[in-house]
Amino acid sequence: MKRKSWLITAAVAILAVAGIGYGVRSNHYQDRFLPKTEALGVDLSGKTVKQADAKMKAQLADVNYQLKDGGKTVATVSGQTLGLKRDYTTMLNKLLSKQNPWGFSAVVLAQSDKTALASSADSAEIKQYANAEAAKLNASRTAPVDAKVVLTNDSYNIEKEKPGNQIDAAKLAEALAGAIQANRHTVALKQTFAQPKAKASDQALKDAVSKLQAMGDIKAVVTVTNHQEQISSDRLKSWLSYSDGSVQVDRGGVAKFVSELADKYNTYNKSRQFHSTKQGTVTVPAGTYGWSIMQSKETDALIALIKAGKDFTQPVLHQGTGYHADGTDIGSTYLEVDRENQHEWLYQNGKVVLDSAVVTGKPATPTPSGVFAVWSKQRNATLVGEDYRTPVNYWMPIDNTGVGLHDASWQPTFGGTWYQQHGSHGCVNQPPAFMPKLFAAVAVGTPVIVI
């Protein structure tokens, strides 16, 4: 009994001592780091936050980190440059709050906690250095080349990507941060190399080849008056490419094609061959009459049709006057004014329905020759010039400078050579009795050819 009592007393005493020791230990580590605790490679065992902060500042600011390309060191940077000489108090308080002061096992916090790099100042300085160093090193390095779709011998193929050795600044910043966390003093640059964004194995490129080939084989036709202009497969394919995840159509190439159509077919601002009533075939200079292809809108329309990837036949988009699907331009209904013979003829569907002697502009202010059109019809208008203000009963302007057809009650005669001394300021004077007939027979838009 005595032996048993003694053993119990001894056990109680040991437990009491252990408890006291455990209590002292746990109380000691309430504000200190447990043994074997480290952060960023710095041993913080037994240190208070203040002591640990001072130790980390002293050690980390003087650490150098080497950037290695293969076995060659291409740059060295200090911890101070990377912002490691700073206040670690916030980080250390967080680490201390996570440890269990009642535990017996050591707590190693360096590898698992990322708060060491959580401050914006630290992150900004690492990124700033990475950006500057990458730019400097990349000056003599080769950029990676993306895989791409190319046109070769009338077919599309994928050209394989090519690696480079330029440094990705974001990857370099990440590698530096990782080295600091792991207490490594070297960074292998190979892990920071920029990689091609597109690779030959990408399904998107394979799909693009199929799509481009199909688009390049469509039948693309533009109709201009009574003509058809087919875009050749070779030319169409030369406009197609693949980039930024989608098929692209070269606007410059399409615009050049449209410009060629305009040069070939536009009638606006171009002289014409005209078969006159008395002078035979004559060349008539440009006037206000004519049409032209709306090149920008036509280019946009063709690009949209090509991207749709289906056969199409598109009537050309045009503006102006005189566009006829049969390609006749002036057509068979028009008014001819012959200055030499001082006479005019109204043709409708190829036949003369009205004609009359006229008075055109005198030699000093001649009626301009060209192909024009009646763009308005007015009753009881007043014609105003620098030295005249004349009321007329009928007025049909034909150009944009004030020239037109009107009755001229002040003219005693029409035709012959009267115009040489008594001609107009440029308008075509009509006999008062004839003008109402002409006014009624001529529609707005009717071509007026002055020769």
pLDDT in tens, 356-382: 999 999 999 999 999 999 999 999 999
| Confidence (pLDDT) at 111 | 41
Residue 434 DSSP one-character state: T
Residue 98 pLDDT > 60, yes or no? Answer: yes
| Confidence (pLDDT) at 4 | 55
Q: Which range is most confident: 52-61, 101-110, 253-262?
A: 253-262
| Confidence (pLDDT) at 36 | 87
More confident residue, 86 or 126: 126
Question: Could you tell me the domains of the chain?
Answer: 28-148+165-198 (no CATH), 204-271+286-320 (3.10.20.800), 334-450 (2.40.440.10)
- Please list the active-site residues: 406, 427
Residue 18 pLDDT > 60, yes or no? Answer: no
| Average of per-residue pLDDT across 284-293 | 95
What is the pTM (predicted TM-score) of this model? 0.64
| Confidence (pLDDT) at 42 | 86
Please answer whether residues 398 and 405 qualify as being in contact, where contact means their C-beta atoms are separated by less than 8 angstroms: yes
CA distance 312 to 221: 6
pLDDT in tens, 184-242: 899 999 999 999 999 999 999 999 999 999 999 999 999 999 999 999 999 999 999 99
Please answer whether residues 147 and 202 qualify as being in contact, where contact means their C-beta atoms are separated by less than 8 angstroms: yes
| Confidence (pLDDT) at 31 | 92
Please answer whether residues 272 and 331 qualify as being in contact, where contact means their C-beta atoms are separated by less than 8 angstroms: no
pLDDT in tens, 146-200: 999 998 888 899 999 999 999 999 999 999 988 887 778 999 999 999 999 999 9
Residue 124 pLDDT > 50, yes or no? Answer: yes
| Confidence (pLDDT) at 311 | 97
pLDDT in tens, 54-83: 998 888 877 899 999 998 999 999 988 988
Token output for 366: 């001649």
Nearest to 65 by CA among 119, 114, 133, 113: 133
Torsion of CA 56, 62, 68, 73, to 10 degrees: -170
Percent of the chain past pLDDT 70, that is, above it, reads: 89
Give 135-177 as a DSSP string. HHHHTTSPPPB--EEEEETTEEEEEPPB----B-HHHHHHHHH
- In which band, very low, low, confident or very high, does the pLDDT at 99 lie, cut at 50, 70 and 90? confident
Q: Is 298 exposed, middle or buried (0-12, 13-18, 19+ CB in 10 A)?
A: buried
**Mean pLDDT, the chain, whole residue set:** 89
